Amino acid sequence: MSRVLELTRELTARPSLTPDDAGCQRLISERLLPLGFSVEWFLCGEVSNVLFTRGRGSPSLWFLGHTDVVPPGPEELWTFLPFHPDEKGGELYGRGVADMKGAVAAMTVALETYVQQQPDHAGEIGLLLTSDEEGEAVDGIVRVAQELERRGRRPDHCLVGEPSSLQTLGDTVRVGRRGSVYVRLQVYGIQGHTAFPENLDNPVHRIAPFLADLVGLEWDTGDAEFPASHCQIAYVHAGTGAGNVTPAHIELLANFRNGPGSPIESIRSRFEELLRQHEISDFDIEWDIMGEPFRSEPGKLREAVVGAVGEVLGVTPELNTGGGTSDGRYIAPLGSEVVELGLINSTIHQVDERTPVADLDRLFATYYDIIRRILT
Ligand SMILES: [Zn+2]
């Protein structure tokens, strides 16, 4: 069995539901420490973060990944039990194989192989892992990044192993990510009898024209790498359930996915300005910022990734900023070049998450080639 497949299976067999690492990082440390890597643990609450590095100075390349997984959902719907990885039709099934234990295994084996072949390599290589990517992400890489910033420490280049590929391995590489922010709005009125409109103030009627304007707003037009920023209403609730009673308040939850053309501060002020225009003044509002957008300017890592994907996988990748947020958002502000390349994402977070077995070794070979291109 290939080393990458074997390690992927070992990691997948550990039910590391966020924030539980379930010993995954310990397993990796047992492999990297004998090869001369230093280790630093950042334990925050229930979350385990760990940084392995070897060598020093420039150029420096760190891999970034997570060992936690999302819940498997109903086990009876799975072809194999979610934490008993198994193969069928050339694919490996199991919770986390694609997001992203396969990539963590490929990174680990790429680092092992590189230092075995180049024990006196130039610069620094590293691997940064968290067990809090899929959850609240409050004690994960954000905390490590704060500590790194305090020390003035960062990698020149950071390769994130999130599953970026769509149909074939390497077809998509992420060179940034959109931001994400939630707004929860509660608008108050006066509850009353539907037969006596003069005695009530219906918050649904108040908010309806506001909502029409909100969803029609053009936030920006996007650019070559970022689609236009947009707002999606995720939840609306009002009323008592009785047909002759108007609601006392209405609650709304919306999510913005934004590009650099609309930083969160500008979304916030435009949203609140729109409330004023509609003379909505009796309300509570709460903003929950998940992350600002980031973009990685073209650099040595982008060049190495595109070169390696072309040479090893025979693919010319599309460079974009699609998908949700990733932990790259915490490393990019340190000044590192951040690029994301990982397995095919078509089954992530689903029942029967799976990945082509052959892609594990192909991803390893690509990561290895990226290290070689950056360090030599
Ligand atoms: Zn992930």
Q: How far is the CA of 160 from the centre of ligand 1 (A)?
A: 10
DSSP element (H, E) containing 252 = strand 249-258
Structure tokens at 198: 């003069």
CA 28-32-105 angle, to 5 degrees, is 45
Q: In the prediction, which pLDDT does 292 show? A: 87
Q: How far is the CA of 108 from the centre of ligand 1 (A)?
A: 16
Catalytic residue numbers, as ranges: 68, 133
Q: In the prediction, which pLDDT does 323 show? A: 84
Q: How far is the CA of 86 from the centre of ligand 1 (A)?
A: 20
**Residue range 6-52, pLDDT digits in tens:** 999 999 999 999 999 999 999 999 999 999 999 999 999 999 999 99
Cβ-contact 185, 255 below 8 angstroms: no
The helices-and-strands tally (H runs, E runs) of the chain is: 9, 19
**Residue range 185-202, pLDDT digits in tens:** 999 999 999 999 999 999
**Residue range 122-176, pLDDT digits in tens:** 999 999 999 999 987 889 999 999 999 999 999 999 999 999 999 999 999 999 9
Q: How far is the CA of 6 from the centre of ligand 1 (A)?
A: 20
Q: How far is the CA of 192 from the centre of ligand 1 (A)?
A: 48
**Residue range 264-315, pLDDT digits in tens:** 999 999 999 999 999 999 999 999 998 889 988 899 999 999 999 999 999 9
Q: Is 348 helix (H, G, I), strand (E, B) or coil?
A: coil
Q: In the prediction, which pLDDT does 127 show? A: 98
Say how many C-beta atoms besides its own lie within 10 A of residue 277's C-beta: 11
- The structural domains of the chain, ordered by start, are 3-177+293-375 (3.40.630.10), 179-291 (3.30.70.360)
Residues 6+ apart with CB under 8 A from 74: 351
Say how many C-beta atoms besides its own lie within 10 A of residue 253's C-beta: 16
| CA neighbours closer than 13 Å in the CB half-sphere of residue 21 | 26
Residues with CB under 5 A from ligand 1 (ion): 99-100, 162
Closest CA to 296 of 257, 249, 245, 334: 334
